[in-house]
């Protein structure tokens, strides 16, 4: 069974679903990073999008990301610092999505 999701702007629900490209551009603008023409920022679509399609809430996803960051202390300080930056960017990205979009998800064949 296939699972799907779409994000609808909170400020204008009548607009309907936004394109993933526009959402990615908004994320990049919010975080002050350049957009990549071939990849989603920090693979948000593959990570957050998949979990939204499965019915998880933004809060659940955010808690898991924060838990990953807090549990990830390793002897490799540079790797830990990279992981921490990734986690904090993901938390900000999830908050941006939660603040600005309504999620609709469904399953089909």
pLDDT in tens, 48-59: 999 999 999 999
Residues whose CB is less than 8 angstroms from the CB of residue 106 and which lie 6 or more positions away in sequence, other chains included: 3, 4, 5
The reported pTM is 0.86
Quick: pLDDT tens for 6-17: 999 999 999 999
CA–CA separation, 80 vs 86, rounded Å?
10
**Among the listed residues 62, 64, 52, the one whose alpha carbon sits nearest the alpha carbon of residue 95:** 62
**Predicted confidence (pLDDT) at residue 80 exceeds the cutoff of 70:** no
CA–CA separation, 90 vs 88, rounded Å?
5
Answer whether 86's CB lies under 8 Å from 42's CB: yes
């Amino acid at each position: 069974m296939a699972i799907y999701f779409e994000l609808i702007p909170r400020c204008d629900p009548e607009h309907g679903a936004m394109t993933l490209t526009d959402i990615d551009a908004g994320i990049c603008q919010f975080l002050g990073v350049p957009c990549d023409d071939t990849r989603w920022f920090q693979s948000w679509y593959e990570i957050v999008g998949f979990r939204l399609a499965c019915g998880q809430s933004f809060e659940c996803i955010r808690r898991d990301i924060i838990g990953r960051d807090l549990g990830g202390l390793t002897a490799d300080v540079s790797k830990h610092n990279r992981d921490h930056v990734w986690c904090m960017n993901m938390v900000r990205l999830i908050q941006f999505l939660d603040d600005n979009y309504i999620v609709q998800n469904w399953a089909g064949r």
